[in-house]
Amino acid sequence: MALVLGVDSSTQSTKVEMRDADTGELVGSGRASHPATFPPRSEQDPESWREALVEARRRAGSHAVVAMAIAAQQHGLVALDDRAQVIRPAKLWNDTESADDAQWLVEQLGGPEPWVEACGSVPVASFTISKLSWLHRCEPENFDRLARVLLPHDWLTFRMSGRFTTDRGDASGTGYWSPAEERWRTDLLEVVDDTKDWDACLPEVLGPTEVVRERESAVIAPGTGDNMAAALGVALEPGQVAMSIGTSGTVFTVSDKPTADPKGYVAGFADATGRFLPLACTLNAMRAIDTFARLLQVDLTRFDQLALAAEPGAGGLVLLPYLDGERTPNLPDATGTIGGLRSDVTPEQIARAAVEGVVCGLLDALEALRVGGVAVRPADGIVLLGGGARLHAIQRVLADLAHSPVIVPRGERVATGACVQAAAVLQQTPPDEVAVAWDLGTGSSIEPDEDVDARAVRSAYAELRDRYYATS
């Protein structure tokens, strides 16, 4: 049996899976935690990712593998000097200290539209180009030392292979790679600094089945961003909606053509197959759930029970979960807001309001995809991913408020998607064909309760959101 290794290096932890390269059968898995982060400054030492990968791999078992691929949290900035040493802790996607830089970059080109035309997306604090601008502005001595610019998955792949490479999916989240033109846009980086040799700083973009290097008889695949890997891990089809609830929340689909949303709500990413991955993101998903579980002094199992015990609408309690700023809408300095709070509020209502607030925010992101011209079919079923997919309350509330079936696949879909890519590179087969052959598009299904007044719940949320937006 030939085994492949898939890695998911997320904000909170590293998860790995080992699967049969031919059938996709799961043979082993492991997990190890990362240091906690606390936005607006969200940073980690990249070495902690490597250590977590080694530990997670150890826990997965001692089986030899013939191919591997690394998927990791998108965006971020790993800055290296001319000796390939890390200059400073990596800025993560949910670090919002570069919000002013993102706005400045947008203004330099005359607004959102030129950015969308150039790279498919409008810079926000998450994007690598915004973090480069922050480094240039706030730490000029470190910027001067900058010789290589990598993303988290690029750095881990470099540590495994010794090569500076990336893939089109993760590259499309930097703010300086064009999905439509399939090339780096160093002219956009020159907005940050026009003296740096940016061509020398950037990794080589490899195709979906290109080999990075062979190490210890194992082929190393290009890797990709976490959302791109998740799409592979569920064999996502064009128009089919996926919703991932991790630290952040993402809503995305696969498209055969690039997306260009002039309002900037939809990120026009590429995927890991040669197609495209339009995506809308919220900053507050499981982080909001975790926060309210902590405030209620319960674990997630008990929190889930509390949320399910409350009636839809949480007795009029409404949460706007912008705890760490927000990306959709783009409010990097926002804070959370609770409406309808009364003296007789119960723990059950608080838990329910937290879940409904997170889900309503994600449904706003889904609406942003529609408004941005992306063809989506939520009525066919929403594929629910991430750590939040394990909570029955999130499954139930999403099905009811979206009026759509919710499909919950088994396993770690990002790590599974990385396994798919590893097998595709090993077999020199298109990765989407591997995903279909492994029958990854199945899972348990939750049907909506037609008796729930979804309009009332979503209207109460929209009223609080619009009131907050008008005063921000």
Which amino acid is residue 247, in one-letter code?
T
Q: What is the DSSP letter of 315?
A: G
DSSP 94-107: T--TTHHHHHHHHH
Q: What is the DSSP letter of 450?
A: T
Q: What is the DSSP letter of 262?
A: T
- Both tokens of residue 9? 């290096």
Distance CA 324, CA 125 (A): 12
Give, for 439, the enclosing helix (H) or strand (E). Answer: none
Q: What is the DSSP letter of 321?
A: -
For 140-173, the three-class secondary structure string (H helix, E strand, C coil) is HHHHHHCCEEECHHHHHHHHHHCCCEEEHHHHCC
| Residues annotated catalytic, as ranges | 226
Q: What is the DSSP letter of 236?
A: P
448 — alpha (psi -120 to 50), left (phi > 0) or beta? beta
* The length of the chain, given as a count of residues: 472
Q: Return phi, psi of residue 441, to 5°.
A: -85, 10
Give, for 176, the enclosing helix (H) or strand (E). Answer: none
Answer for the pair 350, 292: CB distance below 8 angstroms, yes or no: yes
Distance CA 176, CA 171 (A): 8
**Cis check: omega of the bond before 40, within 30 degrees of 0:** yes
Distance CA 219, CA 206 (A): 14
- CB-CB neighbours of 379 under 10 Å: 11
Buried b (16+ CB within 10 A) or exposed e, 124-134: bbbbbbbbbbb
Question: What is residue 465's three-state secondary structure?
Answer: helix
